[in-house]
């Protein structure tokens, strides 16, 4: 069985480190980008990304702006994009879904919920 590859987009290296460690322990391959522009470039070329975890609050381009651009890439229309945010207020999940996210997970990450999101990729 091929390992599933998850792209982590986050401007905080600590978040990337923690997510990679968690997912690698569960046999996922992980790659990361520290910003949305870099991720968009990668997603236009790398066909082997099975799911995307994107931080919603980043400088330069946030997840709300990046997700619609990701979904416009022909090869990414069906790639699940999961919003990751420290914002856990009423209406935030709906805002993420309106931006095009397939689902939402808040920080600190509930590992069981994250693995549940990724189980079908």
Mean pLDDT of the chain: 93
Look at the block and give the residue holding tokens 């522009």: 37
Q: Residue length, the chain?
A: 121
What are the domain boundaries of the chain? Answer: 5-118
Count the neighbouring beta carbons within 10 Å of the beta carbon of residue 103.
14
5-118 to CATH, choices 3.40.50.2300, 1.10.1450.10, 3.40.50.720, 3.40.50.920: 3.40.50.2300
User: Residues 54-84: pLDDT tens digits?
Assistant: 999 999 999 999 999 999 999 999 999 999 9
pLDDT at 86 over 90: no
């Amino acid at each position: 069985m091929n390992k599933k590859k998850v792209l982590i987009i986050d401007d905080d290296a600590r978040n990337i480190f923690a997510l990679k460690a968690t997912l690698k322990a569960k046999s996922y391959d992980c790659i990361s980008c520290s910003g949305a522009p870099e991720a968009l470039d990668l997603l236009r070329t790398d066909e082997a990304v099975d799911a995307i975890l994107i931080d919603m609050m980043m400088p330069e381009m946030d997840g709300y702006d990046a997700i619609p651009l990701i979904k416009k890439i022909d090869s990414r229309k069906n790639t699940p994009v999961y919003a990751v945010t420290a914002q856990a207020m009423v209406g935030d999940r709906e805002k993420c879904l309106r931006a095009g996210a397939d689902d939402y997970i808040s920080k600190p990450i509930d590992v069981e919920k994250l693995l549940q999101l990724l189980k079908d990729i």
